[in-house]
């Protein structure tokens, strides 16, 4: 049985850890509120833009103007795994990394694969792998701005147009609620009709100025940037939700461990007191026997 000093040190250590995890939970809860507000406001805009783009570009399918929709023989593929900069968020980062590896293994084992990590955790993992690393966006979440995300999206789009990659995929956590994040692997390029929640049964008759071709040239790149930005915002909200859940569970586990340690401490202290009493009684009996 551990002595009283060791048990007391463990109680102090677990109490300190519990205070840290509780504070981290509160910080993540505050950050989650802001991140959740951003993605909730972003989704309707993204869905409406997607619906308009699908409608406008339908009649121009196959046009040379749709450079981001050109399908080529798949030889070079770019994966963009979106993770966090920090850990202590459960399986949030490992799920993205595993999904990326599974997609490569199942569909592109013979292709030339390049990784563009977004988030320090994906950078730390994939820089040790056999894949080529592209871009310097590992610390994007330290200063998450629209300009930073759009610059990354522009870099990918320019590389696709230049023929550096034949397909581009985004791998990220989609935010559902605090306790649930859904792994998504979405094809970013070449663009295809995107999913929309709007129930559109007939084609909407838009009046386009100055021309359909000009609108497509302006709208398609913006829609792709918005798609990229939405994936990053989804991941940002998911990260704080995952960390909040993980820290809440860690705080609960620390509380359970403290109960066990305090019970052990009381038992050890009681055993020590009992031994001292027995020694005193034995000594008194020995003296009385003389």
Q: Annotated active-site positions, please?
A: 89
Q: Which of 227, 251, 241 is nearest to 84 (CA)?
A: 241
Q: What angle (nearest 5°) sits at the alpha carbon of residue 173, between those of residues 168 and 176?
A: 135
Q: How far is Cα 79 from Cα 168, in angstroms, rounded to an integer?
A: 6
How is the chain split among helix, strand and coil, in percent rounded to 5? Answer: 60, 10, 25
Non-local (6+) Cβ contacts of 64 within 8 A are none
Identify the residue whose tokens are 């709208």: 219
Helices (H) and strands (E) in the chain, counts: 5, 5
Non-local (6+) Cβ contacts of 87 within 8 A are 93, 121
Q: How far is Cα 121 from Cα 126, in angstroms, rounded to an integer?
A: 9
């Amino acid at each position: 049985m551990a002595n009283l000093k060791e048990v007391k040190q463990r109680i102090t250590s677990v109490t300190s850890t519990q205070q840290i995890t509780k504070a981290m939970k509160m910080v993540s809860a505050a950050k989650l509120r802001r991140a959740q507000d951003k993605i909730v406001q972003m989704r309707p805009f993204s869905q409406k833009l997607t619906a308009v783009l699908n409608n406008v570009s339908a009649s121009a399918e196959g046009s040379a103007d749709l450079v981001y929709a050109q399908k080529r023989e798949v030889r070079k593929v770019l994966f963009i795994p979106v993770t966090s900069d920090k850990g202590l968020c459960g399986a949030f980062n490992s799920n993205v990394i595993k999904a990326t590896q599974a997609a490569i293994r199942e569909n592109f084992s013979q292709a030339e694969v390049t990784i563009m990590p977004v988030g320090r955790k994906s950078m730390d993992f994939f820089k040790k792998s056999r894949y080529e690393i592209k871009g310097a966006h590992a610390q994007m979440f330290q200063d998450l701005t629209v300009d930073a995300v759009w610059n990354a999206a522009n870099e990918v789009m320019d590389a696709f147009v230049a023929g550096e990659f034949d397909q581009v995929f985004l791998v990220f956590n989609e935010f559902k609620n605090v306790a649930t994040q859904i792994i998504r692997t979405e094809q970013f390029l070449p663009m295809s009709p995107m999913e929309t929640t709007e129930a559109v049964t007939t084609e909407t008759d838009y009046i386009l100025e100055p021309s359909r071709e000009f609108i497509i040239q302006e709208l398609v790149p913006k829609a792709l940037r918005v798609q990229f930005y939405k994936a990053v915002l989804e991941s940002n909200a998911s990260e704080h939700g995952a960390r909040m859940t993980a820290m809440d569970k860690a705080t609960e586990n620390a509380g359970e461990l403290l109960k066990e340690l305090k019970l052990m401490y009381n038992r050890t202290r009681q055993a020590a007191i009992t031994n001292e009493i027995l020694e005193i009684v034995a000594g008194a009996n020995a003296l009385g026997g003389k």
